[in-house]
Structure 1
Amino acid sequence: MNLRGIVAVSGRPGLFKLVGQNKGGYVLESLDAQKVKIVANITTTKLASLEDITVYGEDDDLKLLDVFANIVAAKGNVPDTKADAKDLKAFFLEVAPGHDQEKVYTSDMKKIVSWYHLLKELPLFSEAAPEAVVDQDGVKIEDKSEKKVKASPKPSNAKAPSKTAQPAKKANMTSKKGV
């Protein structure tokens, strides 16, 4: 399952694909049928990558990726977001066993189910997640799928030589001898 670049934006419904970044913010494209592009302000907007989202668990937190994998396995009986709270709770007990029933609210369950309904038509569930390169300490270095291009930026205070500049002329060193 590959959810790289799919984000939830605080204060906006639905999911977005991270397209790029400019000086004003993140360029996002909605995943619904309208494909609206927006620029989310870097300083005021909070983005949450679906890869990083977890669900409160009784022992350990559950990754959203694992919950989605369980929903895909349960295929036929995924409730609608407008389903009864009892149905959602029963469904969530099936797809997220071990979640903390006091901390995970019905609104959270509805949000996860609505995200699934947005993503199920996309090929994201059949794609493999890109592998990460990890060093000896288990720290992620870089992704194999991402190509890094190293650009050598020119320092802003360095001045390039002018093409029209002339080399300095030698001073005339001839002297006159007195007679």
Structure 2
Amino acid sequence: MNLKALVSVTGKPGLFKLIGQNKGGFILETLDDQKKKSVVNLATNKMATLEDITIYGYEEELKLVDILKRVKDKGTAPDPKSDGKTLREFFREVAPGHDEERVYSSDIKKIIGWYGIIKKLPLFDEEPEPTDADEPSENTK
């Protein structure tokens, strides 16, 4: 799952694809209709890539990417507008060990909504590009 260029912006609904940068900030394209482009200034907005987002857990933080993979493997997800009890039961299955006191229903709704947006994208099925740390060094035999 290659979600490196996908970002969430605080205060803006939905997800965005990072397509460039200029003097005013980052240029983003909405994923839901892929038509709107906007510039986000990091002095006034916070932006996070989906690969960097984690969810509170009892033992350790859970990576959003891993949770999204489990949702995909499950095959179906509830409607993000479902009641809190339904969403929480589903989230217990795909994110076992999440901290139920610190992960709110609104967080679960957002994650399930994001899944609904990205499941249609080819990026969801791509493998992430290897980084230098993933490649064996020349000295390793």
Superposition TM-score, scaled by structure 2 size: 0.92
Q: Which residue of 2 aligns with 1:54?
A: 54
Is the CA contact (8 Å cut-off) linking 1:55 and 1:62 kept in structure 2? yes
Whichever structure has more helix as a proportion of its residues is 2
Determine helix, strand or coil for the equivalent of 2:7.
Answer: strand
Instruction: Measure how far apart 1:42 and its partner are.
Output: 2.8
The structure whose RCO (Cα within 8 Å, separation 6+) is larger is: 2
- In structure 2, C-alpha distance between the alignment counterparts of 1:126 and 1:13, rounded to whole Å: 23
Q: Which residue of 2 aligns with 1:106?
A: 105
- In structure 2, C-alpha distance between the alignment counterparts of 1:118 and 1:34, rounded to whole Å: 11
Q: Which residue of 2 aligns with 1:17?
A: 17
Over 3 Å off, 4+ runs: none
2:114 aligned with 1:115: yes
1:104 maps to amino acid: V
- In structure 1, C-alpha distance between the alignment counterparts of 2:127 and 2:88, rounded to whole Å: 29
Stretches of structure 2 lacking an aligned partner (at least 5 in a row): 135-141
1:93 maps to amino acid: R
Instruction: Measure how far apart 1:47 and its partner are.
Output: 0.4
- In structure 2, C-alpha distance between the alignment counterparts of 1:2 and 1:12, rounded to whole Å: 22
Determine helix, strand or coil for the equivalent of 1:99.
Answer: coil
Write out per-residue CA displacement over residues 116-175 of structure 1, whole angstroms, 9 at most, x where no aligned residue. 00001101221011111129xxxxxxxxxxxxxxxxxxxxxxxxxxxxxxxxxxxxxxxx
Q: Which residue of 2 aligns with 1:66?
A: 66
- In structure 2, C-alpha distance between the alignment counterparts of 1:35 and 1:10, rounded to whole Å: 20
Q: Which residue of 2 aligns with 1:85?
A: 84
- In structure 1, C-alpha distance between the alignment counterparts of 2:124 and 2:6, rounded to whole Å: 12
Determine helix, strand or coil for the equivalent of 2:116.
Answer: helix
- In structure 1, C-alpha distance between the alignment counterparts of 2:30 and 2:90, rounded to whole Å: 27
Instruction: Measure how far apart 1:34 and its partner are.
Output: 5.0
Superposition TM-score, scaled by structure 1 size: 0.73
Instruction: Measure how far apart 1:45 and its partner are.
Output: 1.4
- In structure 2, C-alpha distance between the alignment counterparts of 1:44 and 1:106, rounded to whole Å: 26
- In structure 1, C-alpha distance between the alignment counterparts of 2:100 and 2:47, rounded to whole Å: 25
2:21 aligned with 1:7: no
- In structure 1, C-alpha distance between the alignment counterparts of 2:111 and 2:40, rounded to whole Å: 22
Stretches of structure 1 lacking an aligned partner (at least 5 in a row): 136-179
